[in-house]
């Protein structure tokens, strides 16, 4: 699964759940009190990913990937450090919501650059929430101070891959409905697509959509702004060639 958090876009995947104490509240309702409900889960669109998928996200968009299958997930990330949003230098900067692989990488770089200085104390932050006050985080997310403190990830030595205890539960439409929606997205209507609804994923491993094909040689699949419009914003494209063994 692949999820994104695009600033300014609504959380279109929603569910409403009754509180765990509904039975108690219903008995109180008989005495003149109303039954209470709590807001269910809500988030932005979640997409399924499979082998050969290319996912493109612009700068400033938070993203996460969760493997709910029974096989390992291998990902290759490509970062364009020459884009207009990266105005400092040509170095990549990542800001993590959980885990802290960047801290580990910086520690390794210091050890290799200054081997004679030994180990230095690392006082850098764990994630982007660690710079905020506990009370501010609690009010912003509507959680307790204890949960807000956990969000800050103090002394969190995990890397970029974080194990989710008891699995990750998200709101997703049935697979058939999702595939039908993807088919509709492949048919552009000639209008400029808003960022909130823009297509972020396309598969480059589909032989039936090859741009170049020779049964005795191989095939080439190209991904550009025509079949993945968001690449127009990123000024990138992709191409994959498969050679057939004779």
pLDDT in tens, 3-42: 988 888 888 877 765 444 444 444 444 444 333 334 567 8
Identify the residue whose tokens are 């039975």.
23
- Of residues 220 and 246, more confidence is placed in 220
pLDDT of residue 45: 86
- How, if at all, do strands 2-5 and 212-214 pair? unpaired
- 172 to each of 12, 141, 187, how far by Cα in Å? 11, 22, 22
CB 43 within 8 A of CB 3: yes
pLDDT in tens, 187-232: 555 445 578 888 899 999 999 999 999 999 999 999 999 999 999 8
CB neighbourhood size of 6 (10 A): 19
CB 44 within 8 A of CB 4: yes
Can you give the pTM of this predicted structure? 0.66
CB neighbourhood size of 146 (10 A): 10
CA pair distance 9, 105, nearest whole angstrom: 33
What residues have CB less than 8 Å from 24, skipping those under 6 apart? none
């Amino acid at each position: 699964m692949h999820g994104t958090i695009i600033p300014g876009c609504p959380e279109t995947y929603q569910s409403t759940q009754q509180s765990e104490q509904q039975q108690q509240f219903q008995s109180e309702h008989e005495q003149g009190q109303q039954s209470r409900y709590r807001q269910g889960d809500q988030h932005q669109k979640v997409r399924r990913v499979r082998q050969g998928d290319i996912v493109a996200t612009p700068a400033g968009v938070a993203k996460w990937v969760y493997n709910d299958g029974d096989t390992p997930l291998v990902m290759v990330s490509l970062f364009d450090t020459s884009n207009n949003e990266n105005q400092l230098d040509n170095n990549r900067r990542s800001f993590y919501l959980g885990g802290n692989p960047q801290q580990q990488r910086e520690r390794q770089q210091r050890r290799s650059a200054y081997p004679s200085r030994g180990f230095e104390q690392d006082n850098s932050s764990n994630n982007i929430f660690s710079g905020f006050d506990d009370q501010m985080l609690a009010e912003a997310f509507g959680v307790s101070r204890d949960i807000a403190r956990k969000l800050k990830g103090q002394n969190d030595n995990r890397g970029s891959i974080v194990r989710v205890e008891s699995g990750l539960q998200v709101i997703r439409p049935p697979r058939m409905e999702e595939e039908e929606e993807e088919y509709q997205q492949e048919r552009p209507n000639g209008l400029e697509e808003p960022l909130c609804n823009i297509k972020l994923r396309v598969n480059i491993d589909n032989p039936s959509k090859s741009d170049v094909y020779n049964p005795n040689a191989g095939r080439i699949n190209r991904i550009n702004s025509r079949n993945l419009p968001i690449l127009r914003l990123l000024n990138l494209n992709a191409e994959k060639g498969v050679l057939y063994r004779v």
